[in-house]
Structure 1
């Protein structure tokens, strides 16, 4: 029966590939569906906002962008996100599942193992994703001078050097490690509450993913503001000063221009972005994992089936002897 072979338990020879394919699909869907919200969030985190892009709320931001710039501008930079999200999330989920399984010996409820697996997976994810984030956010800011993502990447490399793509890497890790720890621990805790048998259950995956995203996003908001500043260098472009380098400098700069409230600019769109994003990510991931593993089990059963599954022409030839 299907219950005797849950999709959480995959053949050892195919587990990594399965998680990578499912993870890549989940990552691309997650970022693309909610991309316009992410665009408004990036603009709201500007520490020296342009008067034409000084949004009071998520709704106000959408209305102004649609009215003065057109819907196309809410999607600027999405190609960089697609290119980065696929491989980044493939490694992310594959690494998470592998390390979680090793540390917990395949048992449920070990939240320490879930958190540790999330930490290691985050390092791999961010190493791939950071350059894509830099290009994406520079395309998203108001009045971006870049025509395309390729033009942006080329210009940044020529004018600021390759290290510009990793200027926010330590801040990104400092943000994403606690973010992903909280994210995975909350998700697995909610699964323990709603789906103890770990069957494929879209409802529990959506609820668990949404709550996990909201908790992690709210807790790490100040670090996200600093990461955006380091990626866009938006304040430097306006004041013509040297680049902001490092997390400490970013914290000081945000406080200098915005005070304490500056660390929480854009929290509404960030939480609104993360809730459906993580719900979509986990739902798509679990769906692909379930579908792929189900096909693998069916193929395995066919290959190991007895002679009664012999093709008709072979059975007829055998009986005629």
Structure 2
């Protein structure tokens, strides 16, 4: 979603100033074409498959190791497993996320993912792809910890039997994603600043180096309101995406389970 990236940038171009999600979508579609709304998505697609495989594989292993599969609620185990999962997957996904952000900035001249990766590397080196990694972890570890703990709690509350139930997984996943997204938006704003600093003309932004400096700069320029930039599109994107993610993942677990023949999904009707 280029409008989330653009709404979070400290130094937007006059053509990329939006009053809200609807205004952003309308303005981008009218002036740049609907195709622009999907700019950078190829980078996400390239990295998402391997990153999600690593993500859920690490989560299941860590949850078992931390005792999260025992009966009852184990919020700390689920949160810790989520933290381990995102640390591993973000190490793989961070460069792809940087490329996506660079391609979504207004006026971006990159032709495709390879062109963007090549030019960023030549101009700024490998460091550009990982300058935001510590900040990303600072955001995603609490995000995933909150999401996993909330999901596991809601899943057991909504479906105490533990049987495969698509509606439970979708509902719990959507609520968990929205709640985690809202609470970690300030960190996402800082991450966006660091990932797009190479496109800025403002010297202070280009020299911004790390989470604390990003927070200080955001507060100086936009006050506390600056930390809520992009909250609405962030929640609106994470809610359905996490709902779908958990729904597909839980279905895959059920389908591939050797004894799934004895487990029948709860009827949705």
TM-score (norm: length of structure 1): 0.78
1:238-288 deviations in Å (ceiling 9; x for gaps): 225543211111112212221111111110111111111110110111112
Unaligned runs of 5+ in 2: 262-269
Q: In structure 2, what is the Cα distance between the partners aligned to 1:239 and 1:145?
A: 19
1:206 is matched with which residue: 170, 183, 192? 170
Residue of structure 2 in register with 1:259 after alignment: 223
Residue of structure 1 in register with 2:249 after alignment: 285
The reply to whether residue 246 of structure 1 matches residue 210 of structure 2 is yes
Larger Rg: 1
What RMSD, in angstroms, separates the aligned Cα atoms of the two structures? 1.6
Q: Which stretch of structure 1 is more off in the superposition, 192-201 or 63-72?
A: 192-201
Residue of structure 2 in register with 1:6 after alignment: none
2:48 is matched with which residue: 85, 96, 107? 85
The reply to whether residue 219 of structure 1 matches residue 183 of structure 2 is yes
1:55 is matched with which residue: 8, 13, 18? 18
Cα distance, 1:201–1:298 mapped onto 2, change above 3 Å: closer
1:172-228 deviations in Å (ceiling 9; x for gaps): 001111111100000000011111222111110111001101111111110000000
Q: How does 1:151-230 map to 2 (within 5 A)?
A: 151-230=115-194
Residue of structure 1 in register with 2:265 after alignment: none
TM-score (norm: length of structure 2): 0.92
2:237 is matched with which residue: 257, 267, 273? 273
Q: Which stretch of structure 1 is more off in the superposition, 120-129 or 41-50?
A: 41-50
Q: Does the 8 Å contact 2:254/2:260 carry over to 1?
A: no
Per-residue deviation, 1:90: 0.5
Greater RCO (Cα-Cα under 8 Å, separation 6 or more): 1
Per-residue deviation, 1:67: 0.6
Q: In structure 1, what is the Cα distance between the partners aligned to 2:68 and 2:120?
A: 45
2:4 is matched with which residue: 41, 54, 68? 41
Q: In structure 2, what is the Cα distance between the partners aligned to 1:95 and 1:196?
A: 25
Residue of structure 1 in register with 2:267 after alignment: none
Residue of structure 2 in register with 1:129 after alignment: 93
Residue of structure 1 in register with 2:106 after alignment: 142
Per-residue deviation, 1:39: 2.1
Unaligned runs of 5+ in 1: 1-37, 300-321
Q: In structure 1, what is the Cα distance between the partners aligned to 2:50 and 2:92?
A: 7
The size of the alignment, in residue pairs, is 259
